[in-house]
């Protein structure tokens, strides 16, 4: 269901500005590097800008980009600090203090973020775009970077390129709006799907996971808000989002076996018998799900696995 909504929405049509949950995997140590050349380092205080790139290729990965930068361009390592794939997966590819090669004169003061894809004619999909916004929000907070210092490669001083293809002004505008998300009755889309999954993860049944904020979802949300000591107005805002996250429990195979709607959403996501009981079959299906997403395959639904389940990442 998530992929259906994702395919229908372009960055220029995003109406919701809900904060999704983000997981960043650090693969910097495993990427190919030059045998003799090394990037220089900088003080973190010198980081004042984010530079947005696209790879200019339909496919590719951090590993293939690193190989190209090292073996074809002769660089010390991959040029980017982060790479975001089409499905919204974020990998860290350089430490923030690395002065890598990605934006000419801006290398010394900016962090490079690359979106896999060629956006000279198309646009990033929903998952990739939303991941970009969340990563920019995190880095902006970490390094006190204002929205007007989040620039496309072509906007940086001395740049002669069309990269990243799309207008980064749209990103800056949405980042300014996204602190005030609000989802309520009548809304539809991927944000509602995530809310419905979060309610199930908190042990409350919102009805069908269909991306439609109808009476059942409103009733479920009010029920949760009451239990969490929040005014039960049936409106999903940041306060309720934080309470939903805190209400999640870790799921694992144990005696007595765990039961509930949180187990059921895990079973729905991992395609195993849906009985709401976390037994051996569910644990095995969780391990397979984790393995396919390069998470530790321990069969335990902890914070990282919950992020993937709720965000619908493949």
What is the distance between the alpha carbons of residues 254 and 105, in angstroms, rounded to a whole number?
56
Least confident of 70-74, 122-126, 278-282: 122-126
Q: Is the confidence at residue 11, as pLDDT, over 60?
A: no
What is the distance between the alpha carbons of residues 225 and 1, in angstroms, rounded to a whole number?
26
60: pLDDT confidence band, cut at 50, 70 and 90? Answer: very high
Domain 190-311 bears CATH identifier 1.10.150.120: no
- Residue 91 is inside which H or E element, if any? strand 90-92
Q: Is the confidence at residue 13, as pLDDT, over 60?
A: no
1: pLDDT confidence band, cut at 50, 70 and 90? Answer: very low
Q: Report the C-alpha dihedral over residues 149, 238, 131, 161, rounded to 10 degrees.
A: -20
> What are the Cα distances from residue 8, in Å, to 12, 21, 124, 152, 205?
12, 21, 12, 25, 27
User: What is the token pair recorded at 92?
Assistant: 């860290």
Query: Which CATH class for the 8-180 domain?
Result: alpha beta
pLDDT single digits (tens) 166-212:
999 988 988 876 555 789 999 988 889 999 999 999 999 999 999 99
Q: What is the pTM of this model?
A: 0.65
CA angle 135, 50, 8 (to 5 degrees): 50
Q: Is the confidence at residue 4, as pLDDT, over 50?
A: no
pLDDT of res. 107 = 96
CA angle 94, 99, 105 (to 5 degrees): 130
Domain boundaries, the chain: 8-180, 190-311
């Amino acid at each position: 269901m998530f992929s259906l909504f994702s395919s229908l929405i372009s960055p220029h049509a995003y109406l919701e500005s809900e904060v999704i949950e983000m997981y960043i995997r650090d693969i910097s140590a495993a990427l190919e590097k030059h045998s003799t050349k090394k990037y220089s380092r900088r003080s973190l205080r010198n980081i004042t800008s984010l530079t947005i790139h696209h790879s200019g290729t339909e496919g590719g990965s951090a590993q293939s980009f690193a190989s190209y930068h090292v073996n074809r361009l002769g660089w010390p390592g991959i040029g980017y600090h982060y790479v975001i794939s089409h499905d919204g997966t974020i990998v860290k590819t350089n430490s923030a203090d690395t002065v890598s090669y990605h934006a000419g004169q801006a290398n010394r003061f900016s962090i490079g973020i690359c979106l896999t894809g060629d956006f000279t004619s198309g646009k990033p999909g929903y998952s990739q775009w939303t991941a970009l916004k969340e990563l920019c929000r995190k880095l902006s907070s970490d390094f006190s970077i204002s929205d007007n210092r989040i620039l496309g490669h072509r906007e940086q001083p001395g740049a002669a390129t069309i990269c990243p293809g799309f207008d980064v002004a749209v990103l800056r505008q949405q980042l300014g709006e996204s602190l005030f998300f609000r989802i309520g009755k009548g809304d539809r889309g991927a944000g509602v799907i995530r809310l419905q999954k979060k309610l199930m993860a908190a042990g409350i049944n919102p009805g069908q996971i269909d991306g439609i904020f109808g009476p059942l979802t409103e009733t479920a949300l009010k029920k949760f808000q009451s239990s969490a000591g929040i005014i039960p107005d049936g409106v999903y805002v940041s306060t309720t989002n934080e309470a939903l996250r805190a209400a999640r429990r870790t799921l694992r195979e144990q005696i007595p076996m765990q039961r509930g709607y949180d187990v059921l959403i895990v079973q729905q996501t991992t395609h195993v018998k849906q009985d709401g009981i976390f037994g051996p079959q569910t644990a095995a299906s969780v391990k397979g799900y984790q393995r396919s997403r390069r998470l530790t395959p321990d069969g335990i639904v902890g914070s990282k696995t919950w992020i993937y389940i709720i965000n619908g990442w493949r």
